Amino acid sequence: MIEVILTAEGHAEAVERPQPSAHGDIVTVRVDVAPMCTEFRARGDGIEHDDLGHEAAGVVVDAGGSTRVRAGDRVVVMPQLGCGKCAYCVQGDHIYCLTPRDVRAETGSTTGIATYAQYVLKPDYLLLPVPDDVSLEHAAAACCLLGPGLHATSRMNVGVLDTVLVSGAGPVGLGAIINAGFRGARVLVLEANPYRQELARRLGAEVFDPFSADTDNAIAAAAPGGITAAIETSGVASVPARLAGLVRRLGQLAIVAWGTDVVLPPLVPTGLSVHGCWHWNHVRLADQMWATIRGSREALDLVTTHHLDLTEADAAMDVQQSGQCGKVFLHPHGRSGE
């Protein structure tokens, strides 16, 4: 099969590698859509890396000994490799599992971890069946495009009475806008990139430049009833404290972005509730995810701005690096046009 690796020269290169083999409840999935996340950031480090990608939608080609899926099933491949037995996994929060499986050791495969590839291995309980009326391209949004925002908006119980402030309109932030808007909330966005400002506006959000001197006052004037909930996706170290100052008393703040320590003002005087939100619970929230996707097809098409072949991964990372994009999809077997 073809798989993308990072070479020591800082390039993403498509190479030929062995196709992984199913074994027991670990099945082989043909990757038809491989959404790109933040893997492009590793390219500049000049370090060899062959486990690129953690999102996918595709078709089961070898079900091994699985009793949950069959060959031909269309599925979303959930990220990571939770054990399937601990309390976190059983309740659907496999992303927090402390004892992940080593599927390459279990199957004897030398590949199968990465989704920037034509085939991937995954335990069957981490495969989400795709409804017949949902295309694989739209289903692929159920990973990092919509997943963190679904977690955040569901955990904060966002609804029609809420005014939500989203920091950052990269792919995760755009997904948060879609989730909050689908729930009926009014959405405000902090974003400086003109390309992504326009995407946020086309999703119906009100956009504010975070570097404008009067932005915080403008947000306060635009939302006289107060910001009831905020979602931080930018990863900028100073932003959580800023959002905490903009949210009204007894409001909520969801931290989705990784990478920095979170510094906040004293919480007791504000009554602020703070949530750390990673991936979403596919056992408990699957119906909500599919409802969001069904009701947001045009929005998903808008924010999925680039579709490239797997062999074009290096060029795709150039696009991501430029910031002139929303979500970027790779198509390891060509675009099906579903």
Query: What angle in degrees, to the nearest 10, is found between the helix axes of 147-155 and 171-182?
Result: 40
Distances (CA, A) of 306 to 92, 194, 283, 318: 31, 17, 30, 12
Q: Which residues make beta-bridge pairs with 206?
A: 188
DSSP H/E element including 338: none
Query: What are 175-191's pLDDT values in tens digits?
Result: 999 999 999 999 999 99
Query: Is the CB of residue 328 less than 8 Å from the CB of residue 319?
Result: yes
Domain ranges of the chain: 2-144+281-331, 149-276
pTM for this model (two decimals) = 0.96
Top CATH class of 149-276 equals alpha beta
Residue ranges in the chain whose pLDDT is less than 50: 337
Which runs of E-coded beta strand occur in the chain?
2-6, 12-16, 26-35, 56-62, 74-77, 119-123, 127-129, 163-167, 186-190, 206-208, 227-232, 247-255, 273-276, 304-309, 327-331
* Cα–Cα distance measured from residue 326 to residue 272, given in angstroms and rounded to the nearest whole number: 31
42, with CB counted inside 10 A (0-12, 13-18, 19+), is middle
Distances (CA, A) of 248 to 7, 14, 183, 272, 276: 48, 49, 20, 8, 19
CATH numeric code, 2-144+281-331: 3.90.180.10
pLDDT at 336: 67
